[in-house]
A and B are shown apart, each in its own frame.
Chain A
């Protein structure tokens, strides 16, 4: 194992596990600043996690093991997905490969577990949240695949490491397909992180919750696992976005710096969109996602035409 691979593996594990909560924390802090509030510190998610880890869990009656196993399963699927995400163009081999479609499958497994848990508790708010989440997912998954196909086009396959390497340098930016893919992936970023205008992570009104809804019944360590998973999903999509659709050049060390800068830029971008956008009507969201899909098709068309000319 070379030094770069070892370093990338370390960033995957340490970054994914330990730094992930920093991302939503940073977004919240930056958002508060932009809105002229003092807001919580970027470290607030860590404090929340520590507090929750010290509390006991609560199982609503009547539930089965499906409800209890959901948080560990969600966290496990997300943790394995973390190991598929290449860091700075290097994909360490944990024996799980680095295929983009496997990553999509693991995220779907997490979605299934959490939606099943909301049926198990039978809570109306949880079911409302998962019903909306699953509706968006039908369109978001199509959009995600379309964006991934565009990123995979220059690499000739869906291996994430190769895709990140092919996206490096200035070459891809002369292709319209790359621009379309980047725009489509920006929408993926909003959906998967549950941000405005698609979802409001700060809402305290059960009726408007989407991603937060199914978490309502959970407490203690269960909730800690689920909140960590949400943070880790931020990490996964943001690192992917930085690796596949943000500019990066040079060797491993330089690219690592680009990755860090990319994450900061993305956090700022999400904070900006949270500040300037109001939440959309729920039934409008699929239209937005289909628009992104269409954009990806335009991108593919230009890519295929470019290849055939």
Chain B
């Protein structure tokens, strides 16, 4: 052990103590401070390695002896986890007291953060898989602490079932890699032929893809994220899905590298489906947290587009663009972690202050909660990919990579790149649509419920945490170029990029993020000044002379109706109108409309039905009679002996 390991070790100890503290009946504050100290030290150690310090701890090995270590990629993910977790802990300081089950939630929060850190620092298969399972179970327990009525139990069951069925892929992939000795040495997998390679790649894509929420394996995500306590939602959407992407990156770029072309194209396709599908379903959500969960799927899709493009470029022998696409993906990881945590935490504050988060029943919260509202506004603009905020920087880089793919190392790849680029452009426009709607319905206009009109701003950490994250979005948006070389350096076989505030990539015009920020602010301020303060008497908005009633305000369904109608063939919206008449007099009109989640009805429900049918079949051989089981054993033994004799096994 060297002295450079000390901060990381101290951090791990502090995090462990902080996790145990709530169970020992110590003060809640103390536990959260210990957790924060621990994760801050771990994050600092990770950031030091990311920005060029020597790697800490051991390297990967194929045995089962536990080993820990931090290299550049781990360092990046540790730092991202730390940034998000610090904000979540700051938030939890004022959110948890008054929340049902505060102590268990504090302990589970510590456990969750520790498991996230464990996955990215594990250096052998056993610790990796242990951390992986803990990371899945801790939020499930937290959701059940928060509430356990039937819909929540169902959400937790779907979450555990889907992530475990998919998670089998992680076990198969990682254990197979360890078996072939590929964890410690890159390139050893290919020596075993294409069979094991295909097994590992498919298993990893399914396993990590499920946990990352890539479509069509995402079904658990929009169920589980909204029902978790807000500080957990922030960590789940902000970093847990990213840690799954970390696993995917390790497999595709390191352990199984160099991967065949189909893996890159599969990732591109899944990324495009997730990006477009995620944002499209986000658009039609009525619940703010569900909307945010679907938007996480979209952003994971954008990261997957960058990673897929990087794999394809690497296959085509273009290391420069492979590096740029990889760095773009990592930049989007940290951007989305900050933004989504900010939005989820702000959503939690809205829920605390104004009650249920039904979008059609909020409104006007920017006046009631100016600080939280401002943080939410900045976060929404960042996630909509607007310059000069951070979301634009990573989407710009990803889009550049896809456009260059369209220029084509080969005909098919060019078309694939163009499809992905056009899809990403449409995604960005739809994300703008989705988040302008969210901002409008939550923050602007007139309040549509008495509780909303009487909401008061939250205090302390609940106010500070989203604001700090929003400030992070602005800062990262101003100087993404300074971060880029370190991100690029964590890619295997990377080409080094220059550190400059102005991002420029070969062939493209430059993207001068800081000047864009200064320019937008300065010109807006100048025009604001020129606009003057002379204003006429306040007037109501124009509604053909009628009075505007807040209850008649536009709904989510109304605002998105054009998209719903245009994409009717794809989305299959449902709509029911019931008119009750009595003696020719209209008594009531009931309207119900929804955009059903087609993946559920067309994919998961039939799969579940088949699984239950299969289980019913299997039950037939379960007679309960001991003699029957003895007969099964005998038959099995005979079959095995015959197989050995025939040389099939053994």
B372 interface residue per 8 A CB criterion: no
Which B residues lie within 8 Å of A118 (CB)?
440
* Cα–Cα, bound, A286→B570 (Å): 14
* Contact in complex: B516, A102 (CB < 8 Å): yes
A238 interface residue per 8 A CB criterion: no
Chain B contributes a number of interface residues (CB within 8 A of A) equal to 87
* Contact in complex: B562, A135 (CB < 8 Å): yes
Which B residues lie within 8 Å of A256 (CB)?
none
* Contact in complex: A119, B444 (CB < 8 Å): yes
Which label, helix, strand, loop or mixed, suits the secondary structure of the A interface? helix
Segment with Cβ contacts to B, from A6-14, A26-34, A137-145: A137-145
For the complex formed, measure the closest distance between the CB of B372 and the CB atoms of chain A, giving whole angstroms: 14
* Cα–Cα, bound, A60→B537 (Å): 9
A247 interface residue per 8 A CB criterion: no
* Contact in complex: B426, A139 (CB < 8 Å): yes
0 or 1 for each of B425-442: is its CB under 8 Å from A? (1 = yes): 110111011001101110
For the complex formed, measure the closest distance between the CB of A117 and the CB atoms of chain B, giving whole angstroms: 9
Which B residues lie within 8 Å of A217 (CB)?
541-542
- Nearest B residue to A114, CB-CB: B436
* Contact in complex: B385, A105 (CB < 8 Å): yes
* Contact in complex: A131, B559 (CB < 8 Å): yes
Given contact pairs A56-B534, A61-B539, A137-B429, A157 touches B508 in the complex (Cβ within 8 A): yes
* Contact in complex: B515, A95 (CB < 8 Å): yes
* Contact in complex: A60, B523 (CB < 8 Å): no
Which B residues lie within 8 Å of A60 (CB)?
538-542
Contacts of A236-281 to chain B: CB distance below 8 A: none
For the complex formed, measure the closest distance between the CB of A95 and the CB atoms of chain B, giving whole angstroms: 5
Given contact pairs A108-B432, A131-B559, A61 touches B418 in the complex (Cβ within 8 A): no
* Contact in complex: B433, A57 (CB < 8 Å): no
Given contact pairs A75-B527, A108-B432, A145 touches B407 in the complex (Cβ within 8 A): no
A187 interface residue per 8 A CB criterion: no
Which A residues lie within 8 Å of B422 (CB)?
142, 145-146, 293
* Contact in complex: B392, A300 (CB < 8 Å): no
Taking residues whose C-beta sits less than 8 angstroms from the other chain, chain A's interface range is: 35 or more
* Cα–Cα, bound, A252→B144 (Å): 70
Which B residues lie within 8 Å of A149 (CB)?
403, 406, 418, 421
* Contact in complex: A121, B535 (CB < 8 Å): no
* Contact in complex: B446, A158 (CB < 8 Å): no
Query: Which of A56, A105, A106, A308 is most buried by chain B, counting CB atoms within 10 A of its CB?
Result: A105
- Nearest B residue to A160, CB-CB: B509
* Cα–Cα, bound, A153→B426 (Å): 20
* Cα–Cα, bound, A307→B414 (Å): 11
| Residues in A lying within 8 Å of B, measured CB to CB | 56-62, 64, 66-67, 69, 71-73, 75-77, 79-80, 84, 91, 95-102, 104-106, 108-109, 111-112, 115-116, 118-127, 130-132, 134-135, 137-142, 144-146, 149, 152-153, 155-162, 206, 216-217, 219-222, 225, 282-283, 286, 293, 297, 300-301, 304-305, 307-308
| Residues in B lying within 8 Å of A, measured CB to CB | 364, 366-367, 377, 381, 384-387, 392, 396, 399-400, 403-404, 406-408, 410-411, 414-415, 418-419, 421-423, 425-426, 428-430, 432-433, 436-437, 439-441, 443-446, 502, 504, 506-512, 515-516, 519-520, 523-525, 527-528, 530-532, 534-544, 548, 550, 553-554, 558-563, 565-566
Across the A-B interface, the 6 shortest Cβ-Cβ residue pairs: A119-B440, A157-B507, A99-B509, A159-B509, A72-B527, A76-B523
Q: What would be 18 A-B contacts, judged by CB atoms less than 8 Å apart?
A: A57-B534, A72-B524, A72-B528, A80-B523, A97-B511, A99-B511, A105-B386, A105-B392, A108-B429, A116-B436, A119-B436, A135-B563, A144-B425, A149-B406, A155-B507, A158-B403, A222-B531, A300-B414
